[in-house]
Amino acid sequence: MQINREEVEEGIVLKLEGWLDTGASEELKSALEGITGDEKCLIMDMKDLEYISSSGLRLVVTAYKKMDGRLVLKNVPEDILTIMKTTGLDKKLNIEK
């Protein structure tokens, strides 16, 4: 798992690449610890994310709560979007195509 952080006018962008499984979730957890919740917006670009486990989904929900809903998921791959639809997260999270 690789996470690239970039600050843009809209807020902070985290570009996620690889597998966000139980082992890699610590990397995302660490990246999220550097976010105070006062930022304008948190954008997770999932274009290069190949897999997400339940622990990864839990961290996405944690980020959503920390940002008080100001979380945007971009470029979500179809198979990961299917998981989010199955769990009902697509109705709660801001997902842009």
What is the CATH class of 2-96?
alpha beta
Given pLDDT bands bounded at 50, 70 and 90, which one contains residue 37? confident
Residue type for position 4 = N
Q: Which residues contact 33 (CB under 8 A, 6 or more apart)?
A: none
Report the pLDDT averaged over residues 62-89: 96
Q: Delimit the domains of the chain by residue range.
A: 2-96
Alpha-carbon gap, residue 28 to 46, rounded angstroms = 13
Displacement of CA 83 from its chain's centroid (Å): 14
| pTM as predicted | 0.93
